[in-house]
A and B are shown apart, each in its own frame.
Chain A
């Protein structure tokens, strides 16, 4: 059963896959804090159009992917924080981009397998050179995230306050975007442009439902991401037919669903306990008797 790990082709896939899973999980956490999870899906899809276009022009697809992802990211950044309208705009642009990608694909007279692997990933068979590139890029991204961690988290959560504290919020957003584009370009190798969400958002979303401490959520997300990728590659290698990205998507969904459905059980209870304590103390100290004098009697009995 474990013979499969002896093959270098599998070892390479596991190495690259695990490194990508780590940075994808961390970037996913930040996307959730920034309220940009839908962008996490839209960006790689728009990037796909760039990748297909690059192939049509005879260039490396990663260049096209990277360029379109950054462009789309800037565009989404300009749309602002108003969620409803923004998500519709992003959806419309994204589907147009997919249409463009389909056009490029049908115009391309060459080796279609190449574009297929952009859409759905083809990590088993990754070249030694690409493993090296993945390693360097992942490590660089990880170091950058560690260095920028506090300012990035602060400005992700509250850009107004961060700016008042002197943080260069726009520059940080740009840095985040570049790191995200790198992460997406790397993750496309593992799960493909269409399924990036499972590796990017899945682990972080699951972890955020289980714990509210950033450190624990990040650790858990990384652990989940590595597990899905490792298992996905192993199962696909053993099976021989079913693709890696299918296994990863299924694992990601399979773990997220029960956590999501059951989470109100533990989230609600923690909140309740904290609230009743806070209520009791607040009532005492607020000195309701003192303040009630300001308001007519009818407000004295008001409750939440």
Chain B
């Protein structure tokens, strides 16, 4: 079965006023791929996701998502934005927040049908969040909240899953849980995963390819191809050294 191209960029340029954020970006992602998006802060990783979501328009070039130009509210894309701290006494439970992903954009009030509840429960179970489904969201830990965001993104049975820094501020164990969960979702559902991260190491065992964005330039390929001293030095336009130690990759010399 031929692999379908789900995301295609050709010579895309994004600029905010005079500032060029991304340029000469050309790439193609296939169905079922696990792509990690890396790069320093402010490099354009979140901007790239916004392009695919139809929230930003490129200054030049073409973008095709699932065969069509990007548009807002595309239910075939599941999106989990960066987590933020929540007030502890919000009267919203985990299942309510996840429910937004299902029909939060429809008018009126959600009718509490059994089918709706079952659908939400099913997705909560998929991310191991059923145990705290009725707990107030403001009191959940970072890892638990992240699982809810992923569940929210999965509710429309998307073909593309965009995760913006899901591992940020999580300790090692909980970061590993999220990586395992996302990898399982990728495999079981056959979704294409685009995951933005600061650190490649927790994702090395599960990533197919890496998209590295820095200084408006980008490089795409397997981790072995992209995360090398040569490739990154070219990208940053300054000496960057990639060191392998303790079974991990360390990028030295680049700003974070």
Q: Using a CB–CB distance below 8 Å, which chain A residues touch chain B?
A: 29, 32-33, 35, 146-151, 153-154, 157-158, 160-167, 204-205, 207-209, 211-214, 216-217, 263, 267, 270-271, 274-275, 277-278, 281-282, 285-288, 291, 294-296, 299, 302-304
Contact of B132 with A33 in the complex, beta carbons under 8 Å = no
Q: Using a CB–CB distance below 8 Å, which chain B residues touch chain A?
A: 53, 55, 72-74, 79-81, 87, 89-93, 96-97, 100, 103-110, 128-129, 131-132, 134-136, 139, 141, 144, 152, 171-174, 176-177, 180, 202, 205, 246-247
Which chain B positions have C-beta within 8 A of A163? 55, 72
Other-chain contact of A294, B80, B108, B110, B247 (Cβ < 8 Å): B247
Which chain B positions have C-beta within 8 A of A296? 246-247
Which chain A positions have C-beta within 8 A of B139? 267, 271
Contact of B136 with A302 in the complex, beta carbons under 8 Å = no
Closest CB in chain B relative to A283 CB, distance in Å: 9
Residue of B nearest to A220 (CB): B91
Contact of B55 with A151 in the complex, beta carbons under 8 Å = no
CB contact under 8 A between A208 and B90, given known A158-B100, A282-B128: yes
Contact of B107 with A150 in the complex, beta carbons under 8 Å = yes
Contact of B105 with A205 in the complex, beta carbons under 8 Å = no
Given contacts A162-B105, A214-B92, A304-B141, 17 further A-B contacts (CB under 8 A): A150-B107, A150-B110, A153-B100, A157-B92, A158-B81, A162-B100, A163-B72, A164-B81, A204-B91, A212-B135, A271-B139, A274-B131, A277-B131, A285-B128, A294-B202, A296-B246, A304-B171
Closest CB in chain A relative to B11 CB, distance in Å: 25
Residue of A nearest to B77 (CB): A164
Residue of A nearest to B81 (CB): A160
CB contact under 8 A between A148 and B107, given known A32-B91, A35-B87, A212-B93: yes
**How far is it, in angstroms, between the C-alpha of A270 and the C-alpha of B140 when the chains are bound?**
11
Contact of B92 with A33 in the complex, beta carbons under 8 Å = yes
**How far is it, in angstroms, between the C-alpha of A242 and the C-alpha of B172 when the chains are bound?**
60
Which chain B positions have C-beta within 8 A of A304? 141, 171, 173-174
Closest CB in chain A relative to B175 CB, distance in Å: 10
Which chain B positions have C-beta within 8 A of A294? 176, 202, 205, 247
CB contact under 8 A between A299 and B90, given known A149-B109, A271-B139: no
22 A–B contacts from the bound complex (CB under 8 Å): A33-B92, A149-B108, A151-B107, A154-B105, A157-B90, A161-B79, A164-B72, A164-B79, A165-B73, A166-B74, A166-B105, A211-B91, A212-B91, A214-B93, A214-B96, A267-B139, A278-B132, A282-B128, A286-B180, A294-B202, A302-B172, A304-B141
**How far is it, in angstroms, between the C-alpha of A215 and the C-alpha of B79 when the chains are bound?**
26
Contact of A205 with B89 in the complex, beta carbons under 8 Å = yes
Residue among A35, A157, A281 facing the most chain B CB atoms (10 A cut-off): A157
CB contact under 8 A between A161 and B81, given known A154-B105, A213-B91: yes
Closest CB in chain B relative to A291 CB, distance in Å: 5
Determine chain A's interface SS by DSSP, over half rule: helix
Closest CB in chain A relative to B206 CB, distance in Å: 10
**How far is it, in angstroms, between the C-alpha of A278 and the C-alpha of B171 when the chains are bound?**
17
Contact of B91 with A150 in the complex, beta carbons under 8 Å = no
**How far is it, in angstroms, between the C-alpha of A171 and the C-alpha of B17 when the chains are bound?**
25
**How far is it, in angstroms, between the C-alpha of A29 and the C-alpha of B73 when the chains are bound?**
27
Residue of A nearest to B86 (CB): A157
Which chain A positions have C-beta within 8 A of B144? 278
Residue of A nearest to B72 (CB): A166
**How far is it, in angstroms, between the C-alpha of A304 and the C-alpha of B173 when the chains are bound?**
8
Closest CB in chain B relative to A221 CB, distance in Å: 9
Residue of A nearest to B149 (CB): A161
Contact of B108 with A146 in the complex, beta carbons under 8 Å = yes
Contact of A275 with B136 in the complex, beta carbons under 8 Å = no
**How far is it, in angstroms, between the C-alpha of A238 and the C-alpha of B152 when the chains are bound?**
53
Closest CB in chain A relative to B223 CB, distance in Å: 14
Contact of A281 with B128 in the complex, beta carbons under 8 Å = yes
Closest CB in chain A relative to B121 CB, distance in Å: 15
Which chain B positions have C-beta within 8 A of A204? 91
Which chain B positions have C-beta within 8 A of A274? 131-132, 134-135
Which chain B positions have C-beta within 8 A of A205? 89
Residue of B nearest to A205 (CB): B89
CB contact under 8 A between A165 and B104, given known A208-B90, A213-B96, A281-B128: yes
Which chain B positions have C-beta within 8 A of A288? 173
Which chain A positions have C-beta within 8 A of B93? 212-214
Contact of B109 with A150 in the complex, beta carbons under 8 Å = yes
Closest CB in chain B relative to A293 CB, distance in Å: 9
**How far is it, in angstroms, between the C-alpha of A291 and the C-alpha of B105 when the chains are bound?**
38
Contact of B91 with A207 in the complex, beta carbons under 8 Å = yes
Which chain B positions have C-beta within 8 A of A282? 128, 177
Closest CB in chain B relative to A211 CB, distance in Å: 6
